[in-house]
Structure 1
Amino acid sequence: MSSPRPNLAAAYDPERFRQLGHQLVDQLADHLVRTTRREGPVLPWAPPALNVERFPADFPEEPTGDFSALLTRVLEHSHHLHHPRYVGHQVSAPLPLAALCDFVSSLLNNGMAVYELGPVSTAMEHNVLRWMAGVLGLPEGSGGVLTSGGSAGNLTALLAARQAKAGHDAWNGGASAGPPLTVLVPESTHYSVSRAAKVMGWGAGGVTSVPVDARHRLRPEALEEALASARRAGRKPIAVVASAGSTATGAFDPLDAVADFCAKHGLWFHVDGAHGASAALSPRYRHQVKGIERADSVVWDAHKEMMMPALVTAVLFRDGSRSFEAFAQEASYLFNGQGSRPWSDVALRTLECTKEMMALKLYACLHVLGTKLFADAITDTFDLARRFAERLQSSGDFELAVPPDCNIVCFRHTPQGVPAPELDALQVRLRESLVTSGDFYLVQTTLGGRVWLRTTLVNPLTTDADLEALLEALRRAA
C-alpha cells in the first residue's frame, strides 16, 4: 500500500494548519487594530514595477515555512480598506466574520455546479435570494442566482431579457436570427451594460441612450423619443435599464415612471441596483428604491453596502423561471438533461460552472449578526454623506456637484485665486497628492465635462471628523 510523499503529507497536516491558522488570525486582528485606529497609510503607494520586485517569482524547490513573514509583507503593502479614511471606490470594508467564512469556503471548496457538489451552499443561496427578493418587495415565485459581480449580473439579466422579448431564438440562432436589438439606458448607466450588449453581439447600437436631468437621473419624459429613435435606426428595443445608485454620482432613477413606460410598451424592466438596492433595508431611505418591486430583474451587490468581501452579486427575477433562460444550454455530463430544470443545479443559471460558496458569508452574517446591523450601516453612511454635502456647501471653498442620493458625494476644491480653466487640473493634482501620501484614498470622475473628486462613504467606521480632516488635507495640498 502506497503512502503520500512526506512533503505532500506535511502540506495537508491538520496540526500544522491549526498553527498557521492561529498565526494568521492573530496577524489579521493586529492589522484590523492598526487600520481601524487610523495608524499608517490608507494606501502605501508604490509604482507597479516596485511591487513586482517585492514579490518576485523566484520560488524555491523546497519548503521555506515563512508564511507569516510573507503575510507581513502582504499586509504592509496592500490597500487598507478598513482604514476609516478609505473613501474611494464602491468596495466594502468587509465584516471580519464574512472573511472567516471565505476561509471556510476556500477549505471546503464546494464548487456548486450541481447540487451534490455544494448541498449546504446551494440551500443557503436559495434562501438568501428569497430573503433579498422579499426585502425588495418582489412577489412570491421570484428567484435568482448569485454571481461574480455586477458586470456578470447585468449580462445575466439582459440574456434573460433577450430570451423573453427578442421574439426569436437568439441563443441558438445567433444575433442575425432576427432584427438587431437594443436596450434603452440612461446616459449615466454603468459601462457594464454597454459591454453586455456588445458581448451579446449587438454592437454599438445595442444601447440607446436616454438623457438625464441635472441630478443625473433618467428623464422619463425622454423615453418615448429614445424608443422612437431606436426604431428609426432599425433596432428592436426589448428593455429599459434604470439605475438605483449610479456609479458616478449614486443617482436613483425614477423607477415607478420607468416601470409605467415598460408596462405600456411591453418592455423588460431591469434595475441595476448593484450599489443602491441595499437602500431597501433602511427604513429611512427605502423610498429611494420605490418601484423596484415592479422590475423584471434586479442586480444587487452584497460586496458594496452589505459589507461582504468581493464578489457577491444577486441577480433577482420577478418570475423565478426566467433565471433558467439566460443560459439555456445543455451540459449532459453535469445535468443529465435539462427537462426538469432543477433549481438546485445552480450552474444551469449562472455564467460560472464552478462557483465558490458565495452565500455562506452573507447567510452567516445575517444569521449571526442580524439584519438590523445592515440597515444601520446603510442609514448611517447615507446620513454621513448628507452631512458631508452640507459641510461642503457651507465651506466657501468647495463646490458640490449634486446633493447626494446615497453615500456617494462628488465635489471639487475651488480656492480663491485659481482661474476656472485651471480647476480641473487642480483636482487631479490634489487627488494624486493625497493618494500617494497615503493620508486618504479617494477617486475622481468627470461630470458635465469637468473633473470632480468623488468619495464613496462605504466604511461604517468613517466619521464626520475624518471628512473634516479630508477637507483640511485638500486645503493644505492646494
Structure 2
Amino acid sequence: MIAPRTDLAAYDPETFRRLGHQVVDLLADHLARSQRREGPVLPWAPPERLLADFPATFGAEPSAEAAELLGRVVTASHHLHHPHYVGHQVSAPLPLAALSDFVSSLLNNGMAVYEMGPVATAMERHVLGWMAGLLGLPAGAHGVLTSGGSVGNLTALLAARQARAGHDVWKQGSAAGPPLTVLVPETAHYCLARATRVMGWGEGGVTPVPVDAHFRLRPDALGEALAAARRAGRHPLAVVASAGSTSTGAVDPLEAVADFCEREGLWFHVDGAHGASMVLSERYRSQVRGIERADSVVWDAHKMMLMPALITAVLFREGHRSFEAFSQEASYLFHGEGTRDWNDVAQRTLECTKEMMALKLYTCLRVLGTRVFADALTASFDLARRFADRLEAAPDFQLALRPDCNIVCFRHTPPGVPEAALDALQARLRERLVTQGDFYLVRTTLGGRVWLRTTLINPLTTDVDLEGLLEALRRAV
C-alpha cells in the first residue's frame, strides 16, 4: 500500500483557513497587549537559551503544532509595536502592510521579469513615480525598489561609477582608468565604505569630509577633500550627503553640496534612507531642500513610512541611469541585446528573484491615504523636539544636540558622578533597561563620548512614555 503524500496535504485550503484565523487572532492580541504597554519590549534571553527553546529537532514526522510554535515566536521576539521601543530605525509596521506581506508571501511572484510579477511591477512603477514627484525630481526621473539601504546605496554608486568614471567600467573594468573615490561625510553610514570596497576601490574608495559641531557635512571642507583625493591619485566622481544620518539624524546642507557638485561636475547622491520621508510633511520638508537637485536618492520605506523591512527606493534624476548599474544580458530572462524595458525589473537591481515589495506600500497608500504617513512623520518629529526640550530642562540629563528629525541623543548625568565615569554609566544604564525589558534604546559614540540614543519611530509612543524612560534611567543608577 502506498502511503498518502504529506506534501499535498500541506496545501489543504481548509487547514490553511483555520490556521490563518488563529495566526491573525494571535497577532491582533499581540498588538493589543503592546498598545496597553503590557510585558517587556524585549524579553531578554541569552542566545544559548533560545537555541534550546527552539531546537533543531526536524524529524520525518510532525514535531510541533503551528499555532503553539508561532505563539512562542511572538512572545519571545522583540516587540517593536510596544510604545517603549525607542531603539533602532526600524518601524512598527502598519497592520495592513503586514497583511499585504502575507499575500505577497503566498503568491510568491518573483519580479525578475514582468511576466513573473505583473501586478507588483505595475504597482512599483506608480509608487516610484509618486516618490520621485514628492522629492521634486524632474519628469523622466525614476528608479527601482530594492532590499535595503545598503543595497540601495551600492546600486546608486554603481550608476554613478558608470556615469562619471570616464570609461565603461562595466565592460572594461576598474583597471582601465585611475582608482576611484567618493566624497562622504565622516558621519555617513558604514554601508557606503562597504559599497566602495565591494566595487574594488579599496580603503581610499571613500574620501572623508569633516563635519561641524552638529555633525553635518561642512560644505567649506569639500574643496580640500576633493584636492586631497586628487593628490592621492584618485578620480573623485561623486559626493554623498546624508538626509538623516544614522547616529544623530543630522541633515547635511543639501543645497550647498548640490552647488559644489554642479561646479565640479560630480555626481550628487543623497543617502535619504531615514530622512527623505521628510518631503511628506508640510512642516518639515524644508529641511531637505536641495534634495530635488540630486542625481540619485535612496529612501527607505521601512523606516519613516511604517513598512515591514525591507523596501528601499533608489531614485535617479535621469531614469535611464538605473539600467546602467547592471547592464548584462541574460537570454533566459531578457529577450534581445540592449533591451531596456522598464517592466523587466531585474535589469536594474542586484536581485533577480525579488519579492512583491511594492504591494505593501501601494496597498497602504491606496487604502489608508497619504495623510497617514505625513501625520506619523510630523508627530514623531514634534515628539522628538518636545523630548529635547524636556532633556534640556532636566538638571540631571544632557542633550547632545537639537534633533533634525526623530533621533535624540542624550546622557544621564546624576549629581556626584564624575565626568570620567559618565561613559561607563550610560553603557550600564542602557544594558540594565534593555535586559529588564522596560525600554529598548541604543547607544552611540559622539566626539569620543558615549551617549544614549533614541529613535522615536513608533506612532504610539507618547510624552508620558518618554518621561517614564527618564524615570527608569534615574532608578537604574
TM-score after normalising by structure 2: 0.99
Tell me the distance in 1 between the aligned counterparts of 2:133 and 2:340: 23
The equivalent of 1:73 in structure 2 is: 72
Equivalent position of 2:475 in the other structure: 476
- 1:417 and 2:399 aligned: no
User: 1:11 matched to which residue of 2?
Assistant: 10
- Equivalent in the alignment of 2:400: 401
> How much has 1:340 moved relative to structure 2?
2.8
Question: 1:136 aligned to 2:135?
Answer: yes
Preserved contact between residue 443 and residue 453 of structure 2 (Cα < 8 Å) = yes
Which residue matches 2:111?
A: 112
Map of 1:178 onto structure 2: 177
Q: 2:162 maps to which residue? A: 163
Q: Quick one: which amino acid aligns to residue 292 of structure 1?
A: I
Counterpart residue number, 2:377 = 378
Which residue of the partner structure matches residue 195 of structure 1?
A: 194
Where does residue 219 of structure 2 map in the other structure?
220
Matches within 5 A, 1:17-416: 17-64=16-63, 66-416=65-415
Quick one: distance in 2 between partners of 1:5 and 1:381? Answer: 55
Instruction: Give secondary structure in 1 for the equivalent of 2:217.
Output: coil
C-alpha RMSD over aligned residues = 1.0
1:359-380 Cα deviation digits (max 9, x unpaired)? 0000000000000000000000
Structure 2 counterpart of 1:461, one-letter code: L
Cα distance in 2 for residues equivalent to 1:430 and 1:338 = 60
CA distance in 2, matches of 1:7, 1:53: 28
Where has structure 1 moved over 4 Å in runs of 4 or more?
Answer: none
Q: CA deviation at 1:320?
A: 0.2
Task: Determine the structure 1 residue equivalent to 2:444.
Answer: 445
Q: SS of the residue aligned with 1:196?
A: helix
1:404 deviation in Å?
0.1
Gaps of 5+ in 2: none
Q: Distance in 2 between the 1:385 and 1:162 partners? A: 37
Conserved? CA contact 2:57–2:63, under 8 Å: no
Counterparts of 2:327 and 2:464, CA distance in 1: 52
- Checking the alignment, whether the CA contact within 8 Å between 1:138 and 1:294 is kept in structure 2 is yes
Residue 63 of structure 1: CA displacement?
A: 2.6
Q: Is the 8 A contact 1:93 1:459 kept in 2?
A: yes
Structure 2 CA distance for partners of 1:366 and 1:447, relative to 1, 3 Å: same
Deviation by residue 1:93-132 (Cα, 9 ceiling, x = unmatched): 0000000001000000000000000000000000000000
Q: 1:59 deviation in Å?
A: 1.4
Distance verdict in 2 for CA 1:357–1:5, change over 3 Å: farther
By how many angstroms is 1:64 displaced? 4.5
In the alignment, is the contact (CA less than 8 A) between 1:85 and 1:466 conserved in 2?
yes
Whether the 8 Å contact between 2:304 and 2:457 is mirrored in structure 1 is yes
Q: Could you report, residue by residue, the CA deviation over 1:307-332 in whole angstroms, capped at 9, with x for unpaired residues? A: 00000000000000000000111111
Whole-Å separation in 1 of the counterparts to 2:253 and 2:159: 23
- Shift of residue 5 of structure 1? 4.5
* Contact 1:331–1:337 (8 Å) recurs in 2: no
Cα 1:327–1:417 shift into 2, 3 Å = same
Partner amino acid, structure 1, of 2:397: F
For the residues of structure 1 that align with 2:418 and 2:337, how far apart are their CA atoms?
Answer: 66
1:176, distance to aligned residue in structure 2 (A): 1.1
SS of the aligned residue for 1:348 comes to helix
Further displaced range: 89-98 or 3-12: 3-12
TM-score (norm 1): 0.99
Deviation at 1:72, TM superposition (A): 1.2
Q: How far apart are 1:337 and its partner, in Å?
A: 2.8
* Structure 2: distance between partners of 1:157 and 1:395: 43
Instruction: Tell me the alpha carbon deviations over residues 23-51 of structure 1, each in whole angstroms, 9 at most, x when there is no partner.
Output: 01000100111111100000000011110
AA in 2 matched with 1:60: G
CA distance in 2, matches of 1:433, 1:215: 29
- Higher alpha-carbon deviation: 57-66 or 85-94: 57-66
Matches of 2:409 and 2:111 in 1, distance apart? 40
How many Å apart are 1:169 and its aligned residue? Answer: 1.8
* Distance apart, 1:66 and its partner CA: 0.5
Shift of 1:338: 3.8
Deviations 1:178-224 (A, max 9, x none): 00000001011000000000000000100001010000000001100
Task: Tell me, yes or no, if the aligned pair for 1:442 and 1:453 is still in contact at 8 Å.
Answer: yes
2: CA distance, partners of 1:221 / 1:417: 41
Q: Distance in 1 between the 2:218 and 2:69 partners?
A: 52
Structure 1 unaligned spans of 5+: none
In 2, the alpha carbon distance for the partners of 1:65 and 1:78 equals: 18
Contact conserved, 1:156 with 1:326, CA < 8 A, in 2?
A: yes
Q: Please tell me whether the aligned partners of residues 188 and 246 of structure 1 are also in contact (alpha carbons under 8 angstroms).
A: yes
User: Greater CA deviation, 372-381 or 334-343?
Assistant: 334-343
Report the Cα distance in structure 2 between the residues aligned to 1:467 and 1:253, rounded to whole angstroms: 27
- Letter in structure 1 aligned against 2:339: S
Contact 1:150 1:274 in 2 (8 A): yes
CA distance in 1, matches of 2:247, 2:371: 28
Cα drift, residue 388 of structure 1:
0.2
Deviation at 1:6, TM superposition (A): 3.3
Identity level (%): 75
One-letter amino acid of the counterpart of residue 9, structure 2: A
Give aligned pairs, total: 476
